[in-house]
Amino acid sequence: MAKITYVEHGGKEHVVEVATGLTVMEGARDNGIPGIEADCGGACACSTCHVYVDAAWVEKLPAKDAMEADMLDFAYEPDPAKSRLTCQLKVTDALDGLRVQMPEKQI
């Protein structure tokens, strides 16, 4: 389990425990966190689970693969350093304390 903090665009925080092996997107979906739509269900075929990873966590996450980088081109106001697709972030104990901020909207 890892405690992950999801921060809505307006600043409201949701701290939830997400089981190891799920994705950060599944943790949001399973806990009813607003701001992550996940239209493709985690297939990395859209950008509706886009978040900005807290700066303290950027270097701690696995690198983006080419497919994720390509899909982020379609996200709303992507940040080259901090934008990630939550469907591509597998939860491990090492992610305990992760903070992600949702963008103003998902497209």
Q: Tell me, what CATH number does 19's domain have?
A: 3.10.20.30
Task: Tell me the mean pLDDT in the region 1-9.
Answer: 98
Query: Per the domain annotation, does 58 fall within a domain?
Result: yes
Query: Per the domain annotation, does 107 fall within a domain?
Result: no
62-95 pLDDT tens trace:
999 999 999 999 999 999 999 999 999 999 999 9
Query: Per the domain annotation, does 106 fall within a domain?
Result: no
Candidates 15, 67, 66, 29; CA nearest to 46 is 67
d(CA 42, CA 37): 10
Query: Per the domain annotation, does 14 fall within a domain?
Result: yes
Query: Per the domain annotation, does 68 fall within a domain?
Result: yes
Share of the chain above pLDDT 90, in %: 100
Count of domains for the chain = 1
| Predicted local confidence at residue 68, as pLDDT | 98
Query: Which structural domain, as residue segments, surrounds residue 46?
Result: 2-101
* Helices within the chain (DSSP H only): 24-30, 66-72
Q: Residue 97 in contact with residue 60, Cβ under 8 Å? A: no
| Predicted local confidence at residue 86, as pLDDT | 98
